[in-house]
Amino acid sequence: MAGANERTERNAMNGTAASEGLASSLSQSELDRRMRRRGEESRWWWIVPTLYIIVLLLPIYWLINMSFKTNAEIVNSLTLYPHAPTIANYVTIFTQKAWYSGYVNSITYVVMNMVISVTVALPAAYAFSRYRFLGDKHLFFWLLTNRMAPPAVFALPFFQLYSAFGLIDTHIAVALAHCLFNVPLAVWILEGFMSGVPKEIDETAYIDGYSFPRFFIKIFMPLIASGIGVACFFCFMFSWVELLIARTLTTTDAKPIAATMTRTVSASGMDWGLLAAAGVLTLIPGALVIWFVRNYIAKGFALGRV
């Protein structure tokens, strides 16, 4: 009787093991089938971002392609690469003062604006992030409304004011005019980063005997270095690409490269190769700035301030 019971239990265990093995093999085959299906779907998902990247890079490639062509080749044929590559367009830019001075002027007033905007925005953003006072939210909103207005609205007032003070055709004129748009944006960005720093750090520094300037420069600013990088990036990019105010407030001595590019007309018509070479050189500063602050921009997106 005992032997019969043992055989019955053994058969039951074997049946259970067999059913578990069958279920395991079925689940493994189902898993393999799902993985193959997912792999096929993932291959299709790459098509959309690949096409998107091609669409983005095609104009840049075409600009570089045109910059190494002669004007005759650009006008007479549509080619994917220059048949007779030339650097004459770049030589013209680096040897003619009207061209290279435009780059010097643009970089000069852009850097001036970036320094002024961030220097003014730092204490303002600290006040908004650390203190509460009557009308603080309304004042903060009013600052942002200045950023919402198009530059054309302020072109004429700036021209009349700077004409009265003798600032027309100077780098500082363009730098100060751009501050109207960059300071509010810099305050908004920096206030978001500063609000993420605990107030206990301020109190601890004061207890340790730090003065406010020493605390702000040695302790607080390193904590918001990413925010400063993001603010500098956006201030730089706005001033670098803005044309209307820069062209209105300058004539010859401080004329930016964007204004020079709009007047690239020779006796035979538009010099497309020279214009393309100038465009390529105009892309380089922005690309370098993006490369150096790319990690800071990512952090700004994470904080919701970019």
Mean pLDDT over 127-138 rounds to 78
Q: Which residues pair with 266 in a beta bridge?
A: 269
Residue 132, sorted as left (phi over 0), alpha (psi -120 to 50) or beta, turns out to be: beta
| Residue 301: pLDDT band with limits 50, 70, 90 | low
pLDDT tens-place string over residues 32-48: 666 666 665 566 677 87
Q: What is the 3-state secondary structure (H, E, C) of 78-116?
A: CCCCCCCCCCHHHHHHHHCHHHHHHHHHHHHHHHHHHHH
pLDDT band of residue 4 (cuts 50, 70, 90) is very low
Terminal-residue alpha carbon distance, the chain:
81
The helix (H) or strand (E) run that includes residue 29 is helix 2-45
Question: What pLDDT is attached to residue 111?
Answer: 94
User: Are 168 and 162 spatial neighbours (Cβ–Cβ below 8 Å)?
Assistant: yes
Q: Distance between CA atoms of 282 and 205, rounded to whole angstroms?
A: 44
Q: Model confidence over 75-118: pLDDT tens digits?
A: 887 888 888 888 989 998 999 888 889 899 999 999 999 999 99
**Cα 230 to Cα 217: distance, rounded to the nearest angstrom:** 18
Residue 197: the pLDDT is 85
Of 194, 172, 57, 42, the residue nearest 113 (C-alpha): 172
- The confidence score (pLDDT) of residue 2 equals 45
For residues 120 and 271, is the Cβ–Cβ distance under 8 A? no
Instruction: Give percent above pLDDT 70 in the chain.
Output: 80
Q: How high does pLDDT run on average in the chain?
A: 81
Among the ranges given (8-22, 59-73, 275-289), the one the predictor scored with the smallest mean pLDDT: 8-22
CATH number, domain 95-303: 1.10.3720.10
For residue 170, pLDDT beyond 70:
yes
Share of the chain above pLDDT 90, in %: 27
Spatial separation of the C-alpha atoms in residues 182 and 238, rounded to whole Å: 8
pLDDT given for residue 34 in this prediction = 65
What is the distance between the alpha carbons of residues 304 and 188, in angstroms, rounded to a whole number?
Answer: 11
28 vs 287 pLDDT, higher one: 287
pLDDT score recorded for residue 42? 60
- Tell me: pLDDT of 261 over 80: yes
Q: Is the pLDDT reported for residue 28 higher than 80?
A: no
Q: Which residues, at least 6 apart from 190, have a Cβ–Cβ distance to it below 8 Å? A: 121, 122, 125, 126, 224, 227, 228, 231
Q: Count of alpha carbons within 13 Å of 248, Cβ hemisphere only?
A: 20
Instruction: Copy the structure tokens of residue 55.
Output: 């669409």
